[in-house]
């Protein structure tokens, strides 16, 4: 994939913010291990998917596949939709996103806010439904351009050449293991390839929701880790260098994500917590000399309406807290002139 400038210079403002995210060390004192976490939630639309949108749309423009009247049409459970809407808006193209009606309301609002059209479909848990609808629409109207995130080899290539190379440079030494969930499989396959080429002994692992461990041969089921395991093994994972998979329950993923919020101050989404659970397990197996890398995929704000923000133990408003204690809460309200 060649580096290039967008036809519309205005797009550079947001495109230049995509990628080159930090690789930050997370020290888990109780476990006595350190994980290197690539902060993809710092991309401008808030997720790793900004890389895919930038790579595929710039490539399409360069090859003359995008015309002024083109409509970018993608099926997405959220993050790709938001990323395509953001990059499409900046590059000056119309965008239509097909999304399962079960996707969180925050994601829908962001897509609309970026000026894209949103078509909701009832998938009954089958992601393929959206892909089929997009193909039918494209067959009837030549203005549609399909980035095809689930099949497009650029998805893997771009992660191998950008995310993967950044990780290698930022780790500054041997990587013993890399673990990540998969939606399209682009991130796992691309980063896995880059790391394996440089460090052939590195173990590449797929994180899977325990309720739906497809690589273990289980059937599609329900889980709370949005963005990963959409009910099928994606074609882009076919030639990915995967040494094993680690199953993480939704409960463990949610608990770890809240821990990342409370203990580290990192406001990330549920799949990031799941990745860290898997990374900690690997780090425990590899011992103190292991260097385990994973990704923090997206931001917590995307999950306000989901189980991640169902407060354990109930929510206490400031006023209730003040009425229940004689301490600082009460003094705070007194200082405001309240009884
Ligand atoms: C929220 C989220 N977005 C995106 C991805 C990356 O998915 P893909 O496999 O499509 O590259 C993941 C994978 O874990 C994820 O959790």
Domain ranges of the chain: 9-43+158-309, 49-145
> 100 alpha carbon to ligand 1 midpoint, in Å?
16
User: For residue range 298-311, what is the model confidence (pLDDT) as tens digits?
Assistant: 999 988 888 888 86
49-145 placed in CATH 3.40.50.1100: yes
Rg (CA), the chain: 21
Q: Please tell me the predicted confidence (pLDDT) of residue 231.
A: 63
Instruction: Write the secondary structure of 170-199 as one string of H (helix), E (strand) and C (coil).
Output: HHCCCCCEEEECCCCCHHHHHHHHHHHHHC
Query: What's the half-sphere exposure (Cβ side, CA atoms, 13 Å) at 198?
Result: 21
> 149 alpha carbon to ligand 1 midpoint, in Å?
11
Ligand 1 in contact with 156 (CB < 6 A)? no
Q: Please tell me the predicted confidence (pLDDT) of residue 193.
A: 98
- Residue of 186, 178, 184, 183 lying closest to 35 (CA atoms): 178
> 38 alpha carbon to ligand 1 midpoint, in Å?
13
Pick the CATH number of 9-43+158-309 from 1.10.8.80, 3.40.50.1100, 3.40.50.1110, 3.40.50.970: 3.40.50.1100
Give pLDDT < 70 ranges for the chain: 1-3, 123-127, 212-223, 229-231, 311-339
Q: Please tell me the predicted confidence (pLDDT) of residue 16.
A: 97
Residue 190 CA to residue 256 CA, distance in Å, equals 26
Q: Which atom of ligand 1 is nearest to the CA of 272?
A: 16
Q: Is 140 a catalytic residue?
A: no
Ligand 1: which of 41, 45, 49 to mutate, most ligand atoms within 8 Å of CB? Answer: 49
Query: What's the half-sphere exposure (Cβ side, CA atoms, 13 Å) at 286?
Result: 22
Ligand 1 in contact with 236 (CB < 6 A)? no
Burial class (CB in 10 A: 0-12, 13-18, 19+), 179: buried
> 162 alpha carbon to ligand 1 midpoint, in Å?
16
By the 8 A CB rule, do 192 and 240 touch?
A: yes
3-state SS assignment for residue 276? helix
> 271 alpha carbon to ligand 1 midpoint, in Å?
8
3-state SS assignment for residue 337? coil
User: For residue range 156-195, what is the model confidence (pLDDT) as tens digits?
Assistant: 999 999 999 999 999 999 999 999 999 999 999 999 999 9
Burial class (CB in 10 A: 0-12, 13-18, 19+), 240: buried
By the 8 A CB rule, do 273 and 219 touch?
A: no
Residue 321: CB atoms within 10 A of its CB come to 15
Residue nearest to ligand 1 atom 3, measured at CA: 227
Q: Please tell me the predicted confidence (pLDDT) of residue 98.
A: 93
Ligand 1 in contact with 297 (CB < 6 A)? yes
Ligand 1 in contact with 50 (CB < 6 A)? no
Ligand 1 in contact with 190 (CB < 6 A)? no
By the 8 A CB rule, do 45 and 105 touch?
A: no
Which of the residues 70, 76, 250, 271 is marked catalytic? 271
Q: Please tell me the predicted confidence (pLDDT) of residue 22.
A: 98
DSSP 24-55: EEEEETTTTEEEEEEEGGGSTTSBTHHHHHHH
Q: Which atom of ligand 1 is nearest to the CA of 79?
A: 3
Strands (E), 19-173: 23-28, 33-39, 71-75, 94-100, 117-121, 144-145
Q: In what order do the strands lie in the sheet with 244-248?
A: 23-28, 33-39, 292-296, 177-180, 203-209, 244-248
> 49 alpha carbon to ligand 1 midpoint, in Å?
7
Tell me how far CA of residue 53 lies from CA of 48, 72, 104, 141, 169, in angstroms.
10, 10, 20, 22, 23
Q: Is 334 a catalytic residue?
A: no
Ligand 1 in contact with 46 (CB < 6 A)? no
Ligand 1: which of 187, 233, 267 to mutate, most ligand atoms within 8 Å of CB? Answer: 187
Ligand 1 in contact with 302 (CB < 6 A)? no
Which of the residues 49, 54, 193, 196 is marked catalytic? 49
Q: Please tell me the predicted confidence (pLDDT) of residue 128.
A: 76
């Amino acid at each position: 994939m060649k580096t290039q400038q967008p036809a519309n210079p205005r797009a550079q403002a947001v495109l230049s913010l995509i990628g080159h995210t930090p690789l930050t060390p997370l020290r888990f004192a109780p476990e006595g291990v350190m994980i290197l976490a690539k902060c993809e939630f710092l991309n401008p639309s808030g997720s790793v998917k900004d890389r895919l949108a930038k790579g595929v749309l710039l490539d399409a423009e360069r090859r003359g596949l995008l015309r002024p009247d083109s409509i970018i049409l993608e099926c997405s459970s959220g993050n790709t939709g938001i990323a395509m809407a953001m990059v499409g808006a900046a590059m000056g193209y119309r965008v239509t996103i097909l999304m399962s009606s079960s996707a969180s309301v925050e994601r829908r609002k962001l897509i609309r806010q970026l000026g894209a059209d949103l078509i909701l479909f009832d998938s009954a848990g089958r992601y393929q439904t959206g892909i089929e609808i997009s193909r039918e629409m494209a067959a009837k109207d030549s203005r549609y351009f399909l980035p095809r995130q689930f099949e497009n080899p650029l998805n893997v290539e771009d992660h191998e050449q950008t995310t993967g190379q950044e990780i290698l440079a930022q780790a500054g030494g041997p990587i013993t293991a890399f673990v990540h969930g998969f939606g399209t499989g682009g991130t796992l396959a691309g980063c896995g390839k880059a790391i394996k080429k440089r460090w052939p002994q590195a173990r590449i692992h797929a994180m899977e929701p325990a309720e739906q461990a497809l690589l273990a041969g289980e059937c599609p089921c329900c889980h709370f880790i949005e963005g990963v395991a959409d009910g099928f093994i994606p074609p882009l994972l076919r030639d990915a260098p995967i040494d094993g998979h680690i199953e993480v329950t939704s409960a463990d993923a949610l608990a770890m994500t809240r821990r990342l919020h409370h203990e580290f101050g990192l406001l990330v989404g549920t799949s990031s917590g799941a990745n860290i659970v898997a990374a900690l397990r690997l780090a425990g197996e590899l011992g103190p000399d292991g260097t385990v890398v994973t990704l923090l995929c997206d931001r917590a704000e995307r999950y306000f309406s989901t189980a991640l923000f169902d407060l354990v133990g109930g929510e206490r408003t400031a006023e209730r807290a003040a009425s229940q204690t004689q301490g600082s809460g009460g003094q705070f309200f007194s200082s405001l002139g309240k009884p």
